[in-house]
Chains A and B, each alone.
Chain A
Amino acid sequence: MSVTEAGSVPVGKAPLEAGKPDTDSRPPARGLRGEAARRFFRNPMAIVGLVLIAIFVTVAILAPWIAPYSPKDNSWLSEVRPGVYPGPSAEHWLGIDPLGRDVFSRLVHGARQSLLIGVVSLTLGATAGVFLGLLAGAFGGWVDTVVMRFVDIMLSVPGLLFAIAVAAMLGQSLTSVMIAIAVVNVPIFARLLRGEMLGQRTADYVLAAKSLGISRAGIVFRHVLPNSFTPILVQGTLTLALAIVEAAGLAFLGLSGSDPSTPEWGRMLNDAQSTLAAAPMLAFYPGLAIVLAALGFTLVGESLREALDPKMRR
């Protein structure tokens, strides 16, 4: 109980009564979710994260309207000479890159690419992972063994390497990057959901549902799955941050869409490598963009985890 609540016990009552719960002065009853939401929104980390996500998503969606020029427009090539890259000006807020393109426009459109890769790979990976986890958790026995061995094998290769292998196999395209990152996410969600389901197997409401004669599918889909939603949500938010960083890493290594003029933060950073001494800001902008976008999702994910953790309840 917080200090204000403790202090709000009405005065003037008999001393023995003072310690008893007073229905009138208690805060309105809140469910577990409401309690968690209150904790979440009181956390400054969560607010900063939400603001960062809001900016990132808005820029990504409204990119064509925010960017003053097309990201592929290289009309300013004549202004670029080796070693001289025009810096920020009224027309070009963040300057021009070595290929004569507007850096700000490319950065804004890069957000779109990042969000697209992040959301699609998360959705694919989480869906497949949840499905596998569901199989393992619901059936148990040999299904569980097979699925979990498979998950172990996938986890035996470090994530980035796995993504590299898949992307290299599928060839240079946006789809292959998305699939590569999605594949890395599959074992994470599978293991998470299976663990959740094992934990809930002996929960009272599952036993109650069983004793009422509800079918296994009914229990899994109507009770266990909805109750596993919050850890998946937390993991999903954190995974989105990872996906953005991983996509940038793949692009940095040359594994991204087939069109090199597509604005992508990782590739912009890689391109800036050759002009690091002359134009360091060309590397700094996309790098900062990756950090801020990933940080937004990480902050929200961590705050969610904290808010939903029953141990943190006071």
Chain B
Amino acid sequence: MGFDIQAELPKLLWLGIGVAAFLAVIGLLLVIVDRGPRCRRDWWQAACFLTPAGVLLVVGLLYPVVRTTVLSVRDRGGTAWVGLDNYAWMLTQPEILLVLRNTLLWVLFAPLLATAIGLAYAVLVDRSRYEAVAKSMLFMPMAISFVGASIIWKFVYTYRPAGTDQIGLLNQVVVWLGGEPRQWLLDQPLNTLLLIVVLIWIQAGFAMVVQSAAIKAVPDDIIEAARIDGVNAWQQFWRVTLPMIWPTVAVVLITISVQTLKVFDIVRTMTGGQFHTSVIANEMYNQAFRYGELGRGSALAVVLFVLVIPLVLVQIANTRRTREAR
């Protein structure tokens, strides 16, 4: 075995020391809390409890928001003011327009399909004998990384020339059905749609679990009343179940939309953004960390930020409302 425990041991030792040191500091903090002044005790305690989080939030999030916004109106090195040039660049470059179009495709398809599949599945396995197993199966991809899921699907899409044995499942199915194998990830916009399939595969389980909980919370007497009124199953779904769980459906749709806007790992792992599959988050990474274009990278990040804000605000209001209703 080449697993060299000797080489890795020091690192793990440092991990232990680091975590122990951190916990010691926090322990010290908790001791100090009780040694504070008698008057204004709550102030003193709050200051002790909030300082670690406060420092991390100010340096890690508040400052970067301001800084990124400032950089987005500066040049590539982040020194000279260029006004809205970086934003104008975005809207005039054909490649970037394509990136924006791809992001739009993602946001149009992924949330809707994942939510719909999750909902249909939740309704159909509800209270069946194999419900728990069926749900775990759909939910499992949520646990693995986007990189892992992308690798799984890259194998499915693999191509071998016609006449040789296919090793990718999709092309094999096509060949079995009498078709020609294709290089699925080369032609746009089909390739973007095939990448979207991966996100749907990951997120449908989330949609299913959350919506299933809502379906179970619909009161029995409402269902019973509808049945006595003679509505059929189809009407029951559209007129009773769906309106009752609509707030939850909205939460799921928006949550997946936010995730979709920021999608990066799938594109990076499967195509690297080549073959016209790039999206905003991937382009932002390329501009800032590969080409050293800090201004353009920042502008792309700001666009992402602006697109996400309304969604998250609606979401927070929504969550609060459903919590109060409970």
| A and B together in one complex | no
